[in-house]
Amino acid sequence: MSSIIQLLPDHVANQIAAGEVVQRPASVVKELLENAVDAKATDIKLILKDAGKSLIQVIDNGVGMSVTDSRLCFERHATSKIRQAEDLFSLHTKGFRGEALASIAAIAHVEMKTKQEQEELGIHIIIEGSKFVSQDPAVLPKGTSFAVKNLFFNIPARRNFLKSETVEQRHIVDEFQRVAMAHPNIHFTMYHNGSEMFNLPISNFRQRIVNIFSGKTNEKLVPVSEETEILNLQGFVGKPEFSKKNRGEQFFFVNNRFIKSGYLHHAVMAAYDGLLKDGAQPSYFLYLDVPPHTIDINIHPTKTEIKFDDEHALYAILRSSVKHSLGQFNVAPVLDFDRDPNLDTPYQYQNKEAEYPTIQVDSNYNPFADNSQNFSEQNGVKSSKSFSSSSNYRKSEISQPSWESLYVGLKQNTQEIAEMTFENDAVTSSLFEENDIEQEVKRTYQIHKKYIVSPIKSGMVIINQKRAHERVLYEEFLTNMTVKQASSQRLLFPLELYFSSNEMDLLRELQLSLENLGFIFDSITDESMVVSGLPITISESQASIVLDDLLTDLQDGIVSNSFSENDSIAKSMAKSLAVKTGTYLTEKEQENLVHNLFGCKEPNVSPFQKPTFITMSVEDLDKKFSL
């Protein structure tokens, strides 16, 4: 029997490894940027076309490579970062696995140009699908240039799994920002389709964060600083009033490497306990410096997860440091028992003695007297001014006609009123008895603030209120954008909303569709926009939330399975504005929702293809009770 286990060819093994290392264009960007940082570059340029699908080029002014190294770097498990297994626990660099360039070269057309400073000529190498096409000397500047073209050209199935250009660009921007924030001592620039997206000069940590996110980032940052034997913590956290619904501005860096840690995130959220609204997420940019031997960064292919030796100590230090910073800068309430109590007293009252209030009593006041003035006259006591006024008031009340006159002719009028009342009761009973019975019958019922039950001829219909409202809003928004006749409400005071630079670029692309929906923009700059009008279905307090949700959905690809831009916007806004589960609806609101739902073109499903209602016939109910 012949053997069935065989060694894979190198190009097949590289393609399999590429599946772990290169998941999308952003993975290539991350690997190339980290290699440029390890090459001690001070200026790094990232050039993209079609969100990295056509071209990803990284140019640096680092140390470069020799002819031998330039050829060897494309081999599997070839790296300059480690020599033995123990080096994995004392890493000070980024790339160390030795698979990145080999994996990239196996699924793309790669062109590399590199030159060392002491050499007169550099080397120019072209590789297509792990095959060396050419290797020639060339006149080049110091540093290295990697150009990755036609990503996944030989794996069309993987290329078909890529998302839209907006989503892929968002992932690339995320990777670029993470590397740039970790290294403010390097000048980073980013170009996409010929236009400059980022230009980040050499600066400190705070200025680098402001340059990336722009807007009002500077005024919402609170510095955090703590030095211990096991941890050196530096960075910034955001003020609670600037919190958002998404987690887009949350960054942990351990030894200048971006990581994700739900455990450390929980420590930060614990420091904000009682300061945030439900569902709100704070911003934080925290840099942790720990001894390399206390962490293991080789537990995940993307190296974004790290295992710590003593997580509990890091948790406690992180939570207390953030909480202390929020209290120190008067962001959160704090108890300080060493505070000087004299600071609570205004200076002009420090040397003054307390003045005790005096009490005055009118010994002549009698609350039981009918006439204060007569009482005081009989006892020879002079009445006070207040008593005089009250006596005059009582006099005016007593000087009314005698009480017997109020009942004159009452017997005759009572007989007439009784007869009229009897006639009215008879008429009312005969005319409105049936309508009163109909008004007592409810047409809809709300169950657990989630479902609406309405009777029908064959049984009953059970409606999911959130999905039904999403369908109603979706068709309304889509109609308004198609017909371009949406109604707007002018704001008395225009809103100025701030977003990051890449978010503003996306809003400019969506401006026409949003205006067709009913938004009115006075101006749009690189950092902010002024909104002077809103669709009638959106309140002023919802404007910022709706736009934030829209940007998040488009960038994360939540509504990417859409036919057009208008469809994506309508889906996102319907999801954001729809009535939430747990909201109480009045009977009138329930009926309106039911009528509007069955007036839609496709009432059976929500915009996200989930059922909006189910029906249950009387026969189904009978079967339930027959068991």
pLDDT, residue 124, reads 94
DSSP assignment of 29-98, as one string?
HHHHHHHHHHTT-SEEEEEEEGGGTSEEEEEE-S----HHHHHHTTSTT--SS-SSGGGGGS--SS--SS
Segment 500-517 shows an average pLDDT of 83
Long-range contacts of 94-97 (CB under 8 A, 24+ apart): 94/34, 94/35, 94/37, 94/38, 94/257, 95/31, 95/34, 95/35, 95/38, 97/21, 97/301
DSSP assignment string, 580-606: PTT----HHHHHHHHHHHTTSS-TTB-
pLDDT of 580 reads: 87
What is the spatial distance between Cα 33 and Cα 66, in angstroms, rounded to a whole number?
A: 20
Token readout for 113 is 């140009």
Q: Are residues 515 and 541 in the same domain?
A: yes
Of 31-45, 231-245, 380-394, 507-521, where does mean pLDDT reach its minimum? 380-394
* 132 plus 213 within the same structural domain: no
pLDDT reported for residue 536: 87
Higher per-residue confidence, 401 vs 475: 475
CA 410, chain centre distance (Å): 73
pLDDT above 50 for 425: no
Would you state the pLDDT for residue 189?
A: 95
Predicted TM-score (pTM) of the model is 0.68
Residue 429 lies in a domain: yes
Task: Provide the pLDDT for residue 112.
Answer: 93
CA atoms within 13 A on the CB side of 373: 10
User: Tell me, what's the pLDDT at 96?
Assistant: 44
Please say which residue of 296, 328, 360 terminates a domain: 328
Which of these, 268, 275, 231, lies nearest to 247 by C-alpha position? Answer: 268
Residue 430 pLDDT greater than 60, yes or no: no
Q: Based on the fold, state whether residues 114 and 73 are members of the same structural domain.
A: yes
Confidence of residue 434 (pLDDT cuts 50, 70, 90): very low
Q: Which band of pLDDT confidence, cut at 50, 70 and 90, is reported for residue 554?
A: confident
Extract the tokens encoding 405. Answer: 């006159």
Q: Which are the contacts of 222, defined by CB distance < 8 A and separation ≥ 6?
A: 236, 237, 238, 239, 325, 326, 329, 331
pLDDT for the residue 488: 85
> Looking up tokens 């190339």, which residue turns up?
32
Q: Are residues 216 and 191 in the same domain?
A: no
pLDDT score of 109: 93
Read off the tokens for 451: 């479902």
- Please check whether residues 68 and 194 belong to one and the same domain: yes
Q: Residue 601 belongs to a domain with what CATH number? A: 3.30.1370.100
Residue 408 placed within a domain: yes
For residue 287, the model assigns a pLDDT of 94
More confident residue, 147 or 457: 147
Structure-token match 């190296």, residue found:
303
612: confidence class by pLDDT, cuts 50, 70, 90: very high
Q: Domain of 324: which CATH number?
A: 3.30.230.10
pLDDT tens digit string along 85-126? 554 555 556 654 456 788 888 889 999 999 999 899 999 999
User: Is residue 196 domain-shared with residue 210, that is, in the same domain?
Assistant: no
Query: How many domains is the chain built from?
Result: 4
Task: List, for residues 187-215, the tens digit of each pLDDT value.
Answer: 999 999 988 889 999 999 999 999 998 76
Which of 328, 343, 374 is where one domain is finished? 328
Q: What's the pLDDT at 557?
A: 65
The pLDDT value recorded for residue 44 is 95
Q: Are residues 93 and 216 in the same domain?
A: no
Residue type, 328: Q
The pLDDT tens digits of the residues spanning 300-337 come to 656 677 778 888 889 999 999 999 888 887 666 555 55
| In a domain? residue 465 | yes
Would the pLDDT of 58 be above 90? yes
User: Is residue 113 located within the same domain as residue 184?
Assistant: yes
- Residues 16, 159 within the same domain: yes
The pLDDT of residue 371 is: 54
Q: Which two tokens stand for residue 454?
A: 């309405």
* Gyration radius of the chain's alpha carbons: 38
The confidence score (pLDDT) of residue 437 equals 42
* pLDDT tens-digit map of 217-273: 888 899 999 998 888 999 999 988 888 877 778 999 998 889 888 889 999 999 998
Helical segments of 200-289, H only: 205-213, 262-271
Statement to judge: residues 167 and 216 lie in one domain? no
- Pick from 207, 216, 237: which is nearest to 324 by CA? 237
Looking at the predicted structure, is the pLDDT value of residue 41 above 80?
Answer: yes
Q: What is the pLDDT of residues 143-170, one digit of tens each?
A: 999 999 999 888 887 888 888 888 888 8
User: What's the confidence (pLDDT) of residue 444?
Assistant: 85
109 by DSSP, 3-state: which? strand
pLDDT at residue 403, as a whole number: 56
Q: Report which of 518, 505, 624 is spatially closest to residue 569, judged by C-alpha positions.
A: 518
Tell me: do 407 and 501 sit in the same domain. no
Evaluate whether residue 135 is within a structural domain.
Answer: yes
Distance CA 489, CA 542 (A): 14
Domain end among 163, 178, 200:
200
- Expressed as residue numbers, the domain containing 114 is 10-200
Element (H, E) at 438: helix 410-439
In a domain, 127, yes or no: yes
Let me know: does 507 contact 545? Beta carbons within 8 Å: no
Q: What is the DSSP string of 495-512?
A: EEEE--HHHHHHHHHHHH
CB atoms within 10 A of CB 43: 15
Angle made by CA atoms 460, 464, 469, in degrees to the nearest 5: 120
- pLDDT per residue as tens digits for the range 173-186: 999 999 999 999 99
The candidate with the shortest Cα–Cα distance to 448, out of 570, 582, 259, 334, is: 582
The confidence score (pLDDT) of residue 203 equals: 92
Report the pLDDT value the prediction gives residue 294, as an integer from 0 to 100.
81
Calculate what percentage of the chain has a pLDDT beyond 70: 76
Please report the pLDDT score of residue 397 as a whole number: 46
Same domain, 232 and 152: no
